Chains A and B, each alone.
Chain A
Amino acid sequence: MAGRAPFLKVVGTPQAPPAAPAAFAPPFLAPYLRAVRKLDGAGYGASLVAAYERAAAEVAAAVGPEPAIEMADTVSAVVVKAGRRSGERVADAAGDAARRFADPLRFRSWLGLMQRFAAMAPDSVAAVGERMATLLGTLDLSGLEAWLLAGVREAGGDTERRAAFFSFDRPEAARWLAREAGEVVFADHERRLKAYLCALFDVHVPIREPAPGAPEPQRRRPGFAEGLIRMPPTFPGYRGEAAQDVFRAALAHVGAHIRFTGARFPVGQLKPMQVAVVSLIEDARVEALAMRELPGLKRLWLPFHIAHPSGPATAPSLFARLARALIDPDFEDRDGWVRKGRDLFHAAAERMEDPAISRRIGNVLGNDLGQMRVQFNAKTYVVEPPYRDDNLGLWDFGEAPPEDEEAEVIVEAVTIRQTREDEGAADRDRPEEADEGHTSVRLADPDPAAGVPVARYPEYDYQVGRERADWVTVKEYAPRLGSARTVTAILERHHAVRRRIEALIKTARVGRPERLKRRIEGEALDLDAVLDAAIDRRTGSTPDERVYQTTARRQRSLSVLVLVDTSQSTRDRVKGATTSVLDMERDATLLLAEAMDGLGDAFALAAFASDTREDVRYTRLKDFTEDYGGRAREALAGLAPGYSTRLGAALRHAGRDLAAQATHRRLVLVLSDGEPSDIDCPDPRYLVEDARRAVQSLAAQGIDAFCIALDSGADAAHAKIFGARNVLPIARVEQLPQRLPILYMRLTS
């Protein structure tokens, strides 16, 4: 049989398993052999066929022969998209996957996922395949899919970046892995944990994740510096409520430092080991003080102290035991050093408020360790238990602080820029940036041309059906001011429209319904008034005829935020006109602003564009609190087109301003000429779905979103995002200046 020849040839190679495993007994033998022949005939090479055969045996044993045979098609498809090596890696991973799932259906889903991934990110298949066992150790199938998509989206089409993600060279990879694995991630609970810290110690400082380039101990442990708390995104090994408790314990501990430690300790001539021991005593001291006020904190902290009173007397072991001995009265340790530490600490109970005791006790104990010749490696030392901070915040290192990363975590932006510049080693080495004291100055006085990162927002991935937290960075840019003459010219050009707007203003009414009593007419009788009138009649005086009551909306209670899309496409000329789309948007917004100002409505104006998810460019032209006047008009006149349209993030950012407005009605009015898009999002549906999600979440906050869709052919997308009734397509853009104010009246009355 000529057909068998390749098969025989393959099994003859040394690394291949024996021919046709038992799992492929008839009737599966023939299809299996066909699959092998097909792979071999395609010329992918012997090692690939061998890999398939090895995998097929394992898969067949775990989930049956049929999926093992189907796997040949997947391997083949992967090779076509991503090359031979990728095909081999997928085949190698298949055995693990099959054992892990032990279910033919789910294994088939995994095959499908690998095939799709090969199409999306061909250059990363091999890297993922190699790590499949690890990945499947923490992720289920949907988690794996979500993680793979997160990596693809995170890279935004940048292949190098993508490769770095999937080979775990970017810290984001581990972060998203933790997230998808269902580990408790700080960001997901940040609000409640911050409220907890604020309630416990009246501490209100920002909390940030460590910079990706920070040394390992800093990434594993919390920390604090003046005006900032650093918190690792996850505590590996803790799940569910226990993980939330680690975060609570960590914040309570850092809060206790902020409350009770006071001034930093000068590090002076202390050796690293002494620093560690003094820190340990100080940790116990602030906890003791905190527990005096809040005894329940002990129940929170104690379970993390799991040191045993035995084992070798290494520094980390002794430290963990002493830490436990100082908080746990039931802990018994025969070690002389631990007992001495505990005795000294208890002897100082009366002076617990005095931070100097930590220094004194720590010095004594540190010297003892020196005499005991206990070795201490400051580089590898990690504070135990995990909720305790790395203690860098306790110490004043004088001129050259070793924790220069702290300056970088102060604003995530720095982090972000740094990661973009390949971990930004050069950045960190610049001494002025490492100087913590200057950081706030630098941030407070940014380069006007550069954006200031102000917020991070989630983005919704419809393919996995969930929001990715902290996915998009909004940067605010100072407006460029145009000339006042431009403004005057525009207003003159639209003279007639302005007159109509003024007339409309006079009739417009919005507001909260209010009960109006003692009216000449109305829907219901005002009983008080009727009674009074009856009495007036009987007492012979003239009754008041105003005996009705009615409800009416008396004053306008409305806030409007106009969000102008200034993406590159708005540079286009309007058909048959000499002006661009952006000019029309600007004119319309200007006229609308004049109208809103005339009505006394609270309004804000902003423009947006985007340049990848790390730079959603948001320009405040006028804030709610700001008076409308020359500056806002000039800011409008200075609008310039450029970049892309990441609508969802802009909507979320606008929503944050609107949410703070205490009015009856809140409205965001988007002027846009195209559907959402950005250069890092090849999937056209992705940003549309995200914007739709953003609109929904605004609606949940009682904020209405409306879109003026300028002639663009993107009507379908806009209808999907805002709902068909909330989109006004304007075919002839030159009508916009006239129609916008009228539309506004319709929307707000």
Chain B
Amino acid sequence: MALDAYRITEEPYYSPAGNEVRLFEAAYAVRLPMMLKGPTGCGKTRFIEHMAWRLDRPLVTVSCHEDMTASDLVGRFLLEGDTTVWHDGPLTTAVREGAVCYLDEIVEARQDTTVVIHSLTDDRRILPLEKKKELVKAHPDFQLVISYNPGYQSVLKDLKESTKQRFCAIDFAYPDSAAEAAIIVAEAGVERKVADQLVTIAARSRNLKGHGLEEGASTRMLIHAGKLTGHGVPFGEACQIALVTPITDDPDIRDALASVIRAAV
């Protein structure tokens, strides 16, 4: 099978925060397109990896960006010698082979690109390839999943209403402190005490959301900090380079965060 490389063979670690696993399974059972909403680094991508593994489906991930065209998604003719050859894009491959197609950060893509998914998200479940004059019927196992960070919402970057309304959505937030600490222990291989300290710091940084920070420290950042301490970087420095320095350039906010880190240990 063409998509064997996209199969996830080992269980990706995922710690459910609620009943999102069950909900997703139900949505998959009836092949409803899904939207995963939530702040950056809170575990959306890990969740979909976990679900693909659980459902035993290959996972085709596309990171969306503003220059992405519809051809980048569905495919294009390429010149080979004197002939032209059609190459399926990642979306078409997933549709044909029955994979889960995950369009990460869909708002980053141009709006004229995202409309190509429309015919896949209703009961037609087809993907028209205009160039090739082909109508690809979706494989029964195919499912479309997109991720969307409402924090970035602005006039310039938002999903079209007609796109939004085609999806069911699950809200993701940062896990509660015990779960987040368990995740850090599992992912970064640190002691529970260190994980707890990181979680304390993260909770404090999230208090600054909208008061100097766009977003607080993500679970991903905490895992980074934890991994660094595992490699002998002192805790304070690990927090500095994994949490404080990446998150803001504002010296006052950096100072406040550094003081918070000192308070937490």
Contacts and interface: CB of A to CB of B under 8 A. Distances in A.
Interface of A: 191-193, 195-196, 198-202, 204, 248, 252, 293-297, 299-300, 515, 517, 528, 531-532, 534-535, 538-539, 662
Given A192-B252, A195-B208, A295 B260 contact: no
Contact of A204 (B71, B154, B211): B211
B207 A295 contact: no
Given A195-B208, A199-B208, A528-B69, A293 B252 contact: no
A515 B251 CA distance: 34
A202 B207 CA distance: 5
Contacts of A196: 255-256, 259-260
Contact of A296 (B83, B252, B255, B264): B264
A191 B262 contact: no
B7 to A, nearest CB: 31
Give the interface size bracket for B toward A.
Answer: 20 to 34
Contacts of A200: 204, 207, 260, 263
Contacts of B219: none
A193 B257 CA distance: 10
A300 B205 CA distance: 19
B77 A195 contact: no
26 contacts: A192-B251, A195-B208, A195-B211, A195-B212, A195-B252, A195-B253, A195-B255, A196-B256, A198-B208, A198-B211, A198-B212, A200-B207, A294-B263, A295-B265, A296-B261, A296-B265, A300-B263, A531-B76, A531-B77, A532-B71, A532-B77, A532-B131, A534-B79, A538-B79, A539-B77, A539-B84
Given A198-B256, A200-B263, 20 more contacts: A192-B252, A192-B256, A195-B208, A195-B255, A196-B256, A198-B207, A199-B207, A199-B256, A200-B207, A201-B207, A248-B259, A295-B264, A296-B264, A528-B69, A531-B76, A531-B78, A535-B76, A535-B78, A538-B79, A662-B154
B195 to A, nearest CB: 15
Given A198-B211, A296-B264, A532 B76 contact: yes
B79 A531 contact: yes
A293 B265 CA distance: 9
Contacts of A199: 204-205, 207-208, 256-257, 260
Given A198-B207, A199-B207, A296 B263 contact: yes
Contacts of B263: 200, 252, 294, 296-297, 300
B200 interface: yes
A538 B81 CA distance: 12
Contacts of B78: 531, 535
Contacts of A662: 154
Contacts of A299: 262
Given A196-B260, A252-B263, A296-B264, A538 B84 contact: yes
Contacts of B255: 192, 195-196
Contacts of B76: 528, 531-532, 535
A195 B79 contact: no
Given A195-B208, A300-B263, A535 B84 contact: yes
Interface in B44-96: 67, 69, 71, 76-79, 83-84
Pick the 7 closest A-B CB pairs, nearest first: A195-B256, A192-B252, A535-B77, A196-B256, A296-B263, A202-B207, A294-B263
A265 to B, nearest CB: 27
A200 B215 CA distance: 16
Q: Select the residue from A198, A200, A297 with max chain B CB neighbours within 10 A.
A: A198
A196 B69 CA distance: 44
Contacts of B251: 192
Contact of B262 (A293, A300, A534): A300
Contacts of A300: 262-263
A252 B253 CA distance: 16
A187 B264 CA distance: 26
Contacts of A517: 69
A715 B131 CA distance: 65
Contacts of B67: 515
Nearest to A538: B84
Q: Select the residue from B76, B84, B251 with max chain A CB neighbours within 10 A.
A: B84
A443 B256 CA distance: 31
B79 A535 contact: yes
Nearest to A539: B84
Contacts of B71: 528, 532
A198 B265 CA distance: 18
A722 to B, nearest CB: 28
Nearest to B260: A199
Contacts of A193: 256
Nearest to B265: A296
A202 B210 CA distance: 11
Interface string B83-119: 1100000000000000000000000000000000000
Contact of B200 (A252, A293, A531): A293
Contacts of A532: 71, 76-77, 131
B240 to A, nearest CB: 15
A199 B71 CA distance: 46
A241 to B, nearest CB: 11
Contacts of B131: 532, 535
Nearest to A541: B131
Contacts of A295: 264-265
Contacts of B84: 535, 538-539
A204 B255 CA distance: 18
Contacts of B211: 195, 198, 204
Nearest to B154: A662
A662 B79 CA distance: 44
A200 B263 CA distance: 9
Interface in B193-237: 200, 204-205, 207-208, 211-212
B205 to A, nearest CB: 6
Contacts of B212: 195, 198
A537 to B, nearest CB: 10
A296 B204 contact: no
